Amino acid sequence: MTHRSVEVPVVGRVEGEGALHIRIDDDVITRLELEIYEPPRFFEAFLRGRHFSEVPDIVPRICGICPVAYQMSAIYGLEELFEVELPAGVRELRRLLYLGEWIESHMLHVHLLALPDYLGFDDAIQLARGGFKDAVERGLRLKRLGNDLMAAIGGREIHPVSPRVGGFSKAVSPSTLRALLPRIDDALAEILDVADLIAPLEVPTFPRPAELVAISDPSGYAITHGTMASSEGRRWTFAEYEEVTTEIQVAHSNALHSVFTDTDTPYFLGPLARVMLNGEWLTPVAREAAARSGLQLPTLDPFASMAARVVESALALEEARRLIADYEPPDPPAAPVRPRAGRATWATEAPRGTLYHRYDVAEDGTIIEAKIVPPTSQNLRHMEKDLAEFLPGVLDRPDDELTRLAEMVVRNYDPCISCATHFLRLDIERT
Amino acid sequence: MRPVRVIGCGNPDAGDDAAGLVAAEEVARRAPDGVEVVLARDPLRLLDLLEGARRVIVVDAIRAPDGGRTPGAVIRAEAGPDGLPAAVRSSLSSHGLGIAETIGIAAAIGDAPPIVFHGVEAGNVRMGSAMSADVRAALPLLVERVLADARP
């Protein structure tokens, strides 16, 4: 019997808290454990006893990549509980802010994380040096447009300060937004170049069954409003989220794993789920991006996720263009808010999938209890399932290639490693 | 004249990972004219923040890849055509893309100003924890060194 032990970082480049452990005995995987995510329990505790008006400034600190998602799940939930009537235009401006975050996050993922994998480079540095400098620069330009859109509307793009319960503390001027239009027009052309770039790439195929989950809305491509839907026909409201799904404790990780309560099965969130469940709402350029990138719908193949991110970026740019052209500042920028006691539940579509929040609120607006269920934690169990089903077919590959393939399986989910876990290592043990 | 830009990176809620932000704030209080101080949580913001600067000084918490430095150790490195030297790779990363990778990308694209990196070795980076005594004790030296490089 041969024994080999390999250690390779999956994403981070030093040892740390997060890891993927794979043990292979006689060509059979006998142990597979993924620990890449620390749930925002510190913030759930930190929110207890705070006034509701502080929540929009606290929750974006949970994630440097998707602060808007955290704000929006919290704000819309509290506004529903408090029966706030939003001034005209607030919802549209928030959608525009959210689209900026999608563009920023998706373009970062596609160009700096996924493309090096698919083109056979170690990282984006080698990609830029290896003849793809223009592609890296284009990706950074597109990502920056998303950042700038967020900064224009939200104040600071890393932790936007402008959104609040009731509306915005200040509405951006039309001229500030319209100044971005020429760059959006350029980006709409460039996103099709990105689609053309990824079309010929050799992508593994993995058409396994999966139950996809996303918010669905009869009036458009759902981001902040609608009801939960799955590809197996389940439907539930945000208020029913914690009945329909259950977080379970697993021995090897401090993160909880999410499953459907009745069937004990995992589910798959994110851009591919959204494109599949809400594809009828794709805009013309998004459809063209799908066609040119080779994304053939319907598909359950998680390796189609990169193309889905390009398609959603096209949709985001196209919608942003329309929202800016039609923009009139909400006046007043915020409605008055009177707190009341009760339970707020809401979910929105963060770049990497559905982000659920629940707040139990006292009569004076104090947060009694907060619950935050991020998309990465909900996807964890499905990531493990994918690894367990995909890797047996490639065990004959050398360790470095096996490592790369395992990374790609995990990367399909764009897990939000940044939020708390800084370091990640992959251990493959073969005996 | 284009400014010298000091960029503090880190996560204010994650123990020693706040060191770069705290140091940069102190630098901002004492910085001479012509020096800009910016805070960034997402290291990739660096790529945007390099633009228009005469010289850039990045300050962040880091971890030695081999665990070969003690918490509170302060180091300085200059970025070359290949980014940062290996000894200071593996700063605390966001999405696996940390300061070293970001500087490497800027170098590969080829339009980066001169970049100096100042790091402090992190001990505890748990969310919600306070900065460790080792790293806190290292901050005055870190600030002095950044200021010395920031002087026009």
Residue A256 lies in a domain: no
For residue A4, what pLDDT is reported?
43
Residue A25 lies in a domain: yes
Superfamily of domain B4-150: HybD-like (3.40.50.1450)
Residue A355 lies in a domain: yes
- Over residues B21-47, mean pLDDT: 89
**Out of A90-99, B58-67, B93-102, least confident range:** B93-102
Residue A226 lies in a domain: no
Q: Which residue of B has its CA nearest to A12?
A: B96
Q: Which residue of A has its CA nearest to B93?
A: A422
Average pLDDT, chain B: 85
For residue A428, what pLDDT is reported?
58
Distance from CA of B50 to the nearest CA of A (A): 13
Residues in chain A: 431
Q: Does A64 sit within 8 Å of B41, measured CB to CB?
A: yes
User: Is A156 at the interface with chain B, CB within 8 A?
Assistant: no
For residue B88, what pLDDT is reported?
61
Chain A residues with CB-CB distance to B127 below 8 A? 38, 40, 42-43, 420
For residue A422, what pLDDT is reported?
37
For residue A256, what pLDDT is reported?
86
Q: Does B14 sit within 8 Å of A124, measured CB to CB?
A: no
For residue A9, what pLDDT is reported?
37
Q: Can you give the CATH number for the domain in which A48 is found?
A: 1.10.645.10
Q: How far apart are CA A187 and CA A185, in angstroms?
A: 5
Chain A residues with CB-CB distance to B92 below 8 A? 422
Query: For residue A210, what are its two tokens?
Result: 């999966």
Residue A400 lies in a domain: yes
Q: List the domain range (segments joined by +) for residue A22.
A: 4-204+324-430
Mapped onto helix, strand or coil, the DSSP state of residue A59 is helix
Q: How many domains does chain A have?
A: 1
- Asked if the model's pLDDT at residue B102 lies above 60, the reply is yes
For residue B87, what pLDDT is reported?
61
Residue A423 lies in a domain: yes
Average pLDDT, chain A: 89
Domain boundaries, chain B: 4-150
For residue A8, what pLDDT is reported?
36
Q: Which helix (H) or strand (E) holds A402?
A: helix A399-411
Chain B residues with CB-CB distance to A10 below 8 A? 96
Question: What are A305-333's pLDDT values in tens digits?
Answer: 999 999 999 999 999 999 999 999 999 99
Q: Does A124 sit within 8 Å of B105, measured CB to CB?
A: yes
* Cβ–Cβ under 8 Å, residues B31 and B150: yes
The interface predicted TM-score (ipTM) is 0.85
- Asked if the model's pLDDT at residue B75 lies above 60, the reply is yes
For residue A15, what pLDDT is reported?
30
Q: Does B97 sit within 8 Å of A124, measured CB to CB?
A: yes
Q: Does A128 sit within 8 Å of B105, measured CB to CB?
A: yes
Q: How far is CA A50 from the centre of its chain?
A: 27
- The pTM assigned to this predicted structure is 0.92
Interface of A with B in 32-51 (CB under 8 A): 38, 40, 42-43, 45-46
Question: What are A269-302's pLDDT values in tens digits?
Answer: 999 999 999 999 999 999 999 999 999 999 999 9
For residue A1, what pLDDT is reported?
39
Q: Which residues of chain A are under the pLDDT cut of 70?
A: 1-18, 156-161, 417-431
Residue A265 lies in a domain: no
Q: Which residue of A has its CA nearest to B103?
A: A125
For residue A414, what pLDDT is reported?
87
For residue A17, what pLDDT is reported?
47
Contacts of A153 (CB under 8 A, 6+ apart): A93, A96, A97, A100, A160, A162, A168, A172, A177
Question: What are A26-36's pLDDT values in tens digits?
Answer: 878 888 888 77
